[in-house]
């Protein structure tokens, strides 16, 4: 761990004023998180979870706090549109809720959707336990969760979404975070609380987009609870501006007979890290994750997937693919733990990666720990180049080499989207993947 006093990034984050809520427990929790961050500082590569993601460059940057003009800053509305997707939408620009860009009229029965800033103002007490739980989780992980601590201290907005028991929300709900150029290089933070009641059903589409070229630092914490028998389909698209630095924490808790399906696409940003933690807490809970990360140029994209089976007959299936080009670096850690008492669990994880240039690098680390009986488990990872036989087959049929390489790479990535039920969204994400490929 580096001494925090010597790092411009830490100094600028500690110099930022804490949001003043006037709520005793919240102000105290924010100050405790700030103090914990000040005492531990940033993780370095000696921390195992950050072994392949050095923060030396980011630590030398200074960021101004917040964006007072974000509520009126112009944003291209075409950025927010998704083909084939209609329904409620919550939009934040540089961490500030934008009612003019959001769509909150005529919400379906059973859906409550509000910005965090409004909930904290009107009725903050129901959030107290969740806020404390997130702080406790960060404390347990020490310096590795330094950004979760600064988020707990500084976040003043985000989304609060609740689905009532046995409610089926037919149209997808969109959550959009836009990073836009502001007065200087900005740091901003957002927190999300998502709760699905027993037997509820929801599709959530989360987007992280860029509308400008300035460097920014954004942190996100999402606490997601899926009740017994509920089903969540969560699509995450990260296509931030090329100079953006994004640190995200997503924590899912699945109760008995619940199911979560995640599709994750990581494309943009300069330094991007996503800690995705899933706990299967109830018997027969199910998790399916599909992900693609495609760094290019000098990008660094790091995904940390941790799945913990804690109940009987739970199941998880994870399939992730990475493609790196130029001098980019990708990192993937897929860790599965089958805890004592989680007998009958079925867990599988696969990570396949392509390197499209000699200077690209992908570090992959599959992990599997089993402490239960009658378990089916498999995990594996590969890093390689395009298959020469497949290239030869395409070229023998008159397809130029560059086009053949693009076709094979696109097919390699698109396989992670094949089970997306919305064809318009599926084709849109596929087009973004293709656009990311080398010329």
- DSSP characters for 72-92? G----GGGT--TT--S-EEEE
pLDDT of residue 83: 87
Query: Of the candidates 403, 425, 404, 430, which has an alpha carbon nearest to the alpha carbon of residue 415?
Result: 430
Contact 152, 30 (CB under 8 A): yes
**Distance in angstroms (rounded) separating the CA atoms of residues 64 and 43:** 21
Other C-beta atoms closer than 10 Å to the C-beta of 22 total: 9
Q: Which two tokens stand for residue 146?
A: 């330094």
DSSP type of residue 417: G
**What phi and psi values does residue 431 have, to the nearest 5 degrees?**
-65, -35
Other C-beta atoms closer than 10 Å to the C-beta of 185 total: 17
Contact 44, 57 (CB under 8 A): no
pLDDT of residue 4: 54
Contact 182, 210 (CB under 8 A): no
**Distance in angstroms (rounded) separating the CA atoms of residues 406 and 403:** 5
Q: Where are the alpha helices (DSSP H) in 41-65?
A: 56-59
- Helix axis angle, 401-414 to 388-395, nearest 10°: 120
Pairing of strands 89-93, 231-239: unpaired
DSSP, residue by residue, 124-168: -GGGHHHHHHHHHHHHHHGGGGHHHHHHHHH---EEEEEE-TT-B
pLDDT of residue 309: 98
Return the ∠ at Cα 129 (arms to 118 and 27), rounded to 5°.
60
Q: Which two tokens stand for residue 91?
A: 């939009």
438 membership: H or E segment, kind and range: none
pLDDT of residue 2: 46
Give the pTM. 0.94
Q: Where are the alpha helices (DSSP H) in 146-266?
A: 146-154
Q: Average pLDDT across each block of 10 residues of the chain; the chain has 439 residues. List them in order.
A: 69 92 90 92 91 95 87 85 89 94 93 95 84 61 77 95 97 95 89 97 97 90 97 97 96 98 97 98 98 96 98 98 96 97 97 94 96 94 86 81 85 92 92 86
């Amino acid at each position: 761990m580096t001494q925090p006093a010597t790092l411009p990034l830490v100094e600028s984050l500690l110099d930022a004023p804490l949001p003043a809520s006037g709520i005793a427990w919240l102000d105290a929790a924010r100050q405790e998180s700030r103090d914990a961050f000040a005492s531990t500082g940033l993780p370095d590569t000696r921390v195992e979870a950050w072994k392949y993601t050095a923060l030396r460059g980011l630590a030398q940057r200074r960021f101004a706090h917040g964006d007072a003009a974000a509520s009126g800053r112009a944003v291209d509305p075409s950025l927010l549109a998704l083909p084939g997707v209609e329904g409620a939408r919550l939009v934040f620009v540089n961490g500030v809720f934008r009612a003019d860009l959001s769509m909150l009229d005529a919400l379906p029965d059973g859906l409550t959707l509000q910005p965090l800033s409004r909930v904290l103002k009107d009725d903050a007490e129901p959030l107290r336990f969740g806020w404390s739980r997130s702080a406790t989780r960060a404390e347990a992980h020490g310096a590795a969760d330094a950004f979760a601590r600064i988020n707990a201290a500084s976040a003043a907005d985000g989304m609060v979404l609740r689905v009532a028991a046995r409610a089926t929300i037919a149209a997808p709900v969109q959550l959009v975070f836009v990073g836009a150029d502001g007065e200087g290089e900005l740091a901003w933070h957002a927190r999300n609380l998502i709760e699905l009641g027993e037997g509820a059903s929801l599709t959530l589409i989360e987007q992280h987009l860029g509308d400008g070229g300035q460097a920014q630092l954004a942190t996100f914490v999402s606490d997601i609870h899926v009740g017994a028998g509920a089903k969540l389909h969560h699509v995450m698209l990260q296509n931030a501006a090329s100079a953006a630095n994004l640190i995200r924490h997503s924590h899912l808790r699945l109760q008995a007979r619940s199911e979560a399906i995640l599709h994750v696409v990581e494309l943009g940003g300069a330094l991007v890290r996503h800690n995705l933690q899933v706990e299967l807490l109830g018997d027969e809970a199910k998790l399916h994750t599909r992900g693609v990360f495609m760094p290019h140029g000098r990008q660094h994209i790091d995904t940390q997937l941790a799945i913990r089976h804690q109940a009987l007959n739970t199941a998880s299936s994870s399939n992730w693919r990475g493609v790196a080009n130029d001098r980019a670096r990708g990192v993937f850690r897929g860790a599965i733990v089958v805890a004592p008492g989680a007998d009958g669990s079925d867990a599988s994880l696969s990570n396949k990666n392509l390197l499209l240039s000699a200077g690209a690098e992908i570090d992959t680390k599959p992990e599997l720990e089993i402490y239960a009986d009658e378990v089916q488990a498999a995990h594996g990872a590969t890093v390689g180049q395009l298959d020469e036989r497949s290239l030869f087959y395409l070229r023998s049929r008159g397809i130029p080499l560059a086009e053949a390489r693009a076709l094979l790479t696109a097919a390699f990535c698109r396989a992670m989207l094949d089970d997306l039920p919305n064809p318009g969204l599926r084709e849109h994400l596929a087009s973004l993947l293709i656009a990311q490929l080398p010329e």
